Structure 1
């Protein structure tokens, strides 16, 4: 393996070859309950790199496993050999005219593809619950489906073409006639074998009937044998065998989908029944109707989410045998929607319900229903005992057997002691998921799980002739049971397919086909307790697209997995192999602490909170003394910061900013391994204008009172361009222009909310600072009549902190919220014709206040540009000054999205604006500047 790793390092850039123990461990975890630590992680960015990697694998006879987002649930994305991680180079997407087809790279997130298709009223067919995280490569390789996809709109059924790299390195493009012609000559033996397999299958009536029967319901167990019946051209057979092959037959480097209609009108109903049988009878009657989805939830599933605000109160009073159906109908017109609602209600008319069935067209209500349905799986994980894992199994039954099979599953789970288990699923397809918690710490518990799986096979296969895997892929989890489900003849077909494509068995061996009957009980993932705030993590990976450091260093999931492992080793007295030292940079220093991960986490885990906790623990006596002094002297800290900024400008003037950046960037932590090439530090922001450094004064004149607290960022850092007024002056001008009388807290220049110390884990000192601000704001906002005037702040991160600290004691708004609600109606706006880039920072996203910011900017410009795939900017308060590579990585996708005509951007946090300006070369300022200029009435230049 050492020779192979050296060879890989010779063909890939150093930043694409991961060999350190910490990151290899981190990439050894996916959403399944298996873990294998790869010997090396090779990040591949092009087909040429994939071909070169496969050539080396053949030469050294070492297996390769491809991985996209790692949201797979059956263990198909882990290996102890070479893990080929799909990089940004494969995150390409080309939408055809009118959106009829879309050509995607395997690195594209499914939801991002749908966002590109949305303007055409189209989407891709597959709709897995993880679509906001999972990538096209995994969706195709697992033939993932989902709640509305069924069997008619999955990747197999909507495939229009693909590019695939086979095990021998050959590239085939099924949409390119020349490529196909060349492949027919070079791989005639492979195509002849596929043709022979298809002929033999069609000539065997029993086998052909077996295959046709298996695909009447959802089925992802084994290879897509239906390709042998559905297609005669072996190139078509090859392409469709790739769907669901889980990286065991080749690498899908590009796929073209026939898209499907995304109906604009939708309605949902949550209907309750006395028992499973009644609910399933309703499913059978709904099956022929034009309904988009029907989700079944048993009583345990409903109980797990019944306390969610907004859900019907009847859920808390249901009997022990009750069940529910979540039904969705869709149409292209409002009238058509009402017709379909009537058909669905009519189909259920003779089925007794606990309450009258009623559909809602309210978008928020429907979204809440579906959020609750998607929350059933993590709700079990959230309440599990520390040290246990959560498992979700995925089976399918003929729909006519659904009621009996569901009751049998419930009884079976109770028989094996899984009393907390819940059952839900895509009822129209007979597809059920059952979720339970499992302890793998002892052999007795492992054997309990083994007995359960043996009985699952007997129930699903022998009693109901169903599918052991309906949509999650075979993986390691069901590989030992493929022959049990399919029989000897069909399984032998699969073995011949594997040998034809991969004669050396180097592509993801042990997945889909595995001769070890105990394979599903090996490489089980440990889930040791580490910290109360993260012990609920199920390592699903939903957090990763939100994280600015993902693919630079570690993601939130990887930080948690790493910390669990290091904590367990420390407890056992084992060597950590240098992981703890590496974690200082990979896990702590490069965490922006933005907490966007919590907004995507199914159980609300804030990995940023973990990192802040660890930063606080790591603070030495000197740092603690400085923190305490800072809490008592915020005005002095601001003065020192301005003085340091002035010194920096002097040094830059003497040495030049490039030299200064190299000196400071290289001195902060000499010898620490960095993620790739460290970019230069951002240009130093301007010093505040002299008038901005004078103590702020109350505005003269009358008007409606409003309290304004200018945050430290605007007081310390001046505008990006010399000569511009400070942020506080701009906001006070706007408030006066709109007829507001500004009230400032007493000694406002000496106050700080403590965000800077909170981000370093110094909560006690940070809270002392925020307590002082709370007292000052409450005093300033007191209207003398038992009420309070509104309070506004001008930095979103500080606004979020103080909103939490004040806990509803007064009305505190971020500036953009107040501007949207109160300033726009009072100001006369002249919209700018120039394009304006909008950056919605993490605090605004976390507060779910992004809609108001978009509307505010749209009111001020005719061309608002919001770059796709750009969330947190990675500046993280001071991270952009300390680890500038984090800021550069977080904003790597912004450049292609900004036209050269766009020379100005807006946001709502001063340090974010510094990082955005440095990375893009555009002048990013507070949205207050744009609003002030557009409300002057002078039509002045904006850039």
Structure 2
């Protein structure tokens, strides 16, 4: 045992894993594309332990990769060989719900666990992502996670009232106080949100809870084409109490049907839109006794008329079982895709006026690199957000990194050409760092690098994420 490992073991009281242990789940990302190893995996329980870990690593010049549930898709929480993983999975403390409807929890608490706590106090979390069972609040904060209900509740940034963070030199930045008005200097909390662990290690999150829904209805529309759906988006957004508008190509629903061994509820041609409308007790009182579906019917009828939909092109799911069955075809999309191979995953968004043309051109962009590539498209319709997966041909498990990079280049060039973003909600990670300056421009890119250097002058935190890896330990031998 070298001195670095010995010092590290003392900081976490036996909660340290080394390469002789099984550390695979900490070193491979959710997609399976990003794989590495690590010098160690430290699992602190307290802020003081995180501080001690950081200071040990600083003394030995060892890089640190903060990690929550490791559900990312851009390699942002996968370590390099000369780094350790600091997993916050054991930091699951739960505070009290405050009078302002906020709650402070440990960064390792999963979103689903937070939801259980919120529901026990008569609240909801306001954020809905498919990985809620494993995604942690620290990771959600660090990636500014979005999900299906952004149009109503905003992304993680809108839900986070405060953070506690350990910086690269072991200082603790404690901004868990939830004053509704606090205009004192730079908003450091906002800076840490979405920084992907490059500026500090999130240890605690103060979360804004929301009023739960009293009634929910889910409506499935099948449009003849993406162009028809895009034309109807302004009307879809006018559905009363609309919380989510999700989409998938009908042809990609077949993949989910095979994965679930389920029969699609309607024709799988065209373009599917999943709408969720809801009302709380307060909005229910305000609207009287009309009922949610009754209020939505005039808008539904307008959508049917303007898109020339038939009676078989609309399904209204009111019961809990019906809603689960319909929504499963959207929420199981990522699982179904990954069951067919290791995809090149891209999370992008474009201005809504370019949504239809980009949707129609993605396949051609991927096939310009590999004519036999297989694409799957779905996403969040209200934000014109695409989740693009490009799978290799049948019988090929995974693209080489060279081909994967070419596919990314072809698709992202299409997105930027339409005035879009290379990352709508998954972050930049390792996968897209070479594209960051192309979207932001050199001036913004250099300013972001200066911010990184100011917070982390030795480049110890998550090297290779957002920016190329220039960590001081990158090419040195294992620390003594």
Inter-partner Cα distance in structure 2 for 1:341 and 1:107:
39
Following the alignment from structure 1 to structure 2, what is the Cα–Cα distance between the partners of residues 313 and 160?
41
- Contact map agreement 1:121 1:263 (CA 8 A) in 2: no
More strand by share: 2
1:411 aligns with 2:367: no
What SS does the aligned partner of 2:316 have?
coil
- The CA RMSD measured in Å over matched residues stands at 2.8
- How far off is 1:413 after superposition? 2.8
With normalisation by structure 2, the TM-score equals: 0.87
Question: What is the CA-CA distance between 1:466 and the residue it aligns to?
Answer: 0.8
**Cα deviation 1:344-384 (Å, max 9, x = unaligned):** 41441311224353422111011111112111222223234
Give per-residue Cα distances to partners, 1:621-661, cap 9 Å, x unaligned.
Answer: xxxxxxxxxxxxxxxxxxxxxxxxxxxxxxxxxxxxxxxxx
Question: How big is each residue's C-alpha offset from its partner over 1:598-636, in whole Å with a ceiling of 9 and x where there is no partner?
Answer: xxxxxxxxxxxxxxxxxxxxxxxxxxxxxxxxxxxxxxx
SS at 1:21 equivalent: coil
1:330 positional shift: 0.6
Contact 1:278 1:352 in 2 (8 A): no
Does residue 263 of the first structure (1) align with residue 263 of the second (2)? Answer: no
Distance 1:251 1:313 in 2: 45
2:114 maps to 1:161 = no
Alignment of 1:326 with 2:274, yes or no, is yes
**Which one of 351, 369, 377 corresponds to residue 398 of structure 1?**
351
Q: Classify the secondary structure of the residue corresponding to 2:126.
A: coil
With normalisation by structure 1, the TM-score equals 0.46
- Match for residue 267 of structure 2 among 315, 321, 327: 315
Name which of 226, 229, 236 aligns with 1:286.
236
Separation in 2 of the partners of 1:61 and 1:126?
37
Q: Secondary structure at the match of 2:306?
A: coil
User: Alpha carbons of 1:231 and 1:409: their partners in 2 closer, same or farther (altered >3 Å)?
Assistant: farther
The answer as to 2:248 corresponding to 1:297 is yes
Structure showing greater radius of gyration is 1
Alignment partner of 1:447 is 2:449: no
Provide the rounded CA distance (Å) in 2 between the counterparts of 1:231 and 1:498: 25
Secondary structure at 2:22's aligned position in 1? helix
Task: Give the equivalent residue in structure 1 for 2:70.
Answer: 70
- Equivalent in the alignment of 1:172: 173
Distance 1:166 1:233, change over 3 A: same
Matches within 5 A, 1:368-517: 368-384=325-341, 389-415=342-368, 416-417=370-371, 419-438=373-392, 445-461=400-416, 463-514=417-468
Contact kept, 8 Å, 1:394 with 1:469, in 2: the verdict is yes
SS of 1:421's equivalent in the other structure is: strand
Q: Give the whole-Å Cα distance in 2 for the aligned partners of 1:31 and 1:72.
A: 6
Q: Cα distance, 1:442 vs. partner?
A: 11
Q: CA deviation at 1:83?
A: 0.9
Do residues 367 (structure 1) and 320 (structure 2) align? no
CA distance in 2 between partners of 1:429 and 1:148 (Å): 10
**When the two structures are aligned, how many residues end up with a matched partner?**
453
In structure 2, the residue corresponding to 1:487 is in which secondary structure? helix
Give 1:296 shift: 1.3
Counterpart residue number, 2:95: 94
For the structure 1 residues 101 and 340, does the alpha-carbon distance in structure 2 shift closer, same or farther, using more than 3 Å as the test?
A: farther
Contact kept? 1:397, 1:430, Cα under 8 Å:
yes
Distance in structure 1 (CA, Å) of the matches to 2:392 and 2:144: 27
5+ residue gaps in structure 1? 181-229, 517-943
**Structure 1 residue 515, shift from structure 2 partner:** 6.8
Equivalent pair of 2:463/2:469 in contact (CA under 8 Å): no
Counterpart check, 1:21 vs 2:32: no
CA contact (8 A) 1:95 1:116 kept: no
Asked if structure 1 preserves the Cα contact closer than 8 Å seen for 2:265 and 2:326, the reply is no
- Whether contact under 8 Å (2:66, 2:85) holds in the other structure is yes
Cα distance change on mapping 1:99 and 1:175 into 2, 3 Å:
closer
Q: Is the 8 A contact 2:350 2:419 kept in 1?
A: yes
Q: What is the rounded CA distance, in whole Å, between the counterparts of 1:74 and 1:19 in structure 2?
A: 24
Please tell me whether the aligned partners of residues 95 and 117 of structure 1 are also in contact (alpha carbons under 8 angstroms). no
Per-residue CA distance 1:463-502 (angstroms, 9 max, x = gap): 2111111111111011111001111111112111101111
CA 98–267 in structure 1, closer or farther in 2 if over 3 Å, else same: farther
1:575-654 aligned within 5 A: none
* Aligned equivalent of 1:353, options 292, 299, 309: 309
